Amino acid sequence: MSPPSTASPQSQPVPRHVAIIMDGNGRWAAAHGKARLAGHRAGVRTARAAARAGLAAGIDVLTLFAFSSENWQRPADEVNGLMRLFVEVLQRELDDLHANGIQLRLIGAREHLPEILRRRIAAAEARTSANARMTLVLAVAYGGRWDLVQAARRLAAKARAGEISPDDIDEAALGRHLALAGLPAPDLLIRTGGERRISNFLLWDLAYSELYFTDALWPDFGADEFAAALAFFQGRQRRFGRTGAQVEAVAD
């Protein structure tokens, strides 16, 4: 039987950058007769396991969407509970992340976060800044539209100050002002929880990512699921607009 047309004769290496929309904590909690926050706590355990799996697989960057620009609209109890949970998790996990050579980086509108959380984030980023085994990017108070707007604003300020001319604003310059500047774009996007949408995640950076959707709720997304997502990625032929024959000629 001939392989599906999207399959590559040579399988892809592991993705350098995996981004995950960790969705389904609330539904997991409801299914277990628990409060939504218990679902988020269970989700933290999965996030920790995903970081370990990423390290073991040799991934360079793992980006986790933990709280979106739109999530501020949730009930205050849930928002406050999540902020407290982020503070607690940073405190508890930092030694372990550092010992494993993981560099931590937060992307998002951090000025909207509670002061205590901002301080913990800054301390964690400073402490792990020289680590090079894997970068763990936490997207908190993050939105893809926010990201594009803040990049546009900074470029406009530089143009007004005469540091750059409008003609200097090309794709590379915009990319250097986005939150993920300096990191490769995600090769693979995983979304758990059954929805097939981007929900204002990395709008620019996902332009050529492979998309993997699973119905598994985030707290149930185990090592097998992670391995299945990586296997899916390794079966894709990445053409970036070229023909399959062109890509195969380069690979030979």
Catalytic residues: 23, 71
> Measured between alpha carbons, how far is residue 17 from residues 55, 114, 174 in Å?
11, 29, 20
Q: What's the order of all strands across the beta sheet hosting 61-68?
A: 102-107, 134-142, 61-68, 17-21, 188-191, 210-213
Give the dihedral of Cα atoms 111, 115, 119, 124; nearest 10 deg. -70
Q: Which stretch binds ligand IPE (CB under 6 A): 102-110, 166-174, 191-199, 238-246?
A: 191-199
CB 88 to Mg ion: min, Å: 21
Q: Give the whole-angstrom CA distance, residue 35 versus residue 57.
A: 33
- Position of tokens 């277990």? 32
Q: Which stretch binds ligand IPE (CB under 6 A): 61-69, 126-134, 163-171, 172-180?
A: 61-69
User: Choosing among Mg ion, ligand IPE, none, which partner's interface includes residue 143 (Cβ < 5 to 8 Å by kind)?
Assistant: none
Return the number of other C-beta atoms located less than 10 Å from residue 110's C-beta: 14
Residue type, 244: G
According to CB under 6 A, which one of 18, 21, 102, 185 is a site residue for ligand IPE? 21
According to CB under 6 A, which one of 53, 66, 151, 190 is a site residue for ligand IPE? 66
Contact residues for Mg ion (CB under 5 A)? 23
Q: Which is nearer to ligand IPE, 43 or 54 (CB)?
A: 43
Q: Which is nearer to Mg ion, 34 or 52 (CB)?
A: 34
Tokens of 210: 């492979």
Closest CB to ligand IPE belongs to which residue?
Answer: 26
> Measured between alpha carbons, how far is residue 65 from residues 46, 62, 144 in Å?
13, 10, 11
Q: Which stretch binds ligand IPE (CB under 6 A): 10-18, 150-158, 161-169, 192-200?
A: 192-200
| 81 touching ligand IPE, by CB under 6 A | no
> Measured between alpha carbons, how far is residue 242 from residues 172, 228, 238 in Å?
21, 27, 9
Contact status, residue 108 vs residue 139, Cβ threshold 8 Å: yes
Contact status, residue 53 vs residue 14, Cβ threshold 8 Å: no
CB 21 to Mg ion: min, Å: 9
| 22 touching ligand IPE, by CB under 6 A | yes
Closest CB to Mg ion belongs to which residue?
Answer: 23
User: Choosing among ligand IPE, Mg ion, none, which partner's interface includes residue 86 (Cβ < 5 to 8 Å by kind)?
Assistant: none
Contact mark string toward ligand IPE, 201..230, x via CB under 6 A = ------------------------------
Q: Give the whole-angstrom CA distance, residue 9 versus residue 247.
A: 11
Q: Which is nearer to Mg ion, 23 or 147 (CB)?
A: 23
According to CB under 6 A, which one of 131, 199, 234, 237 is a site residue for ligand IPE? 199
The residues that touch ligand IPE, with contacts defined as CB under 6 A, are 21-27, 65-68, 71, 82, 193, 195, 197, 199
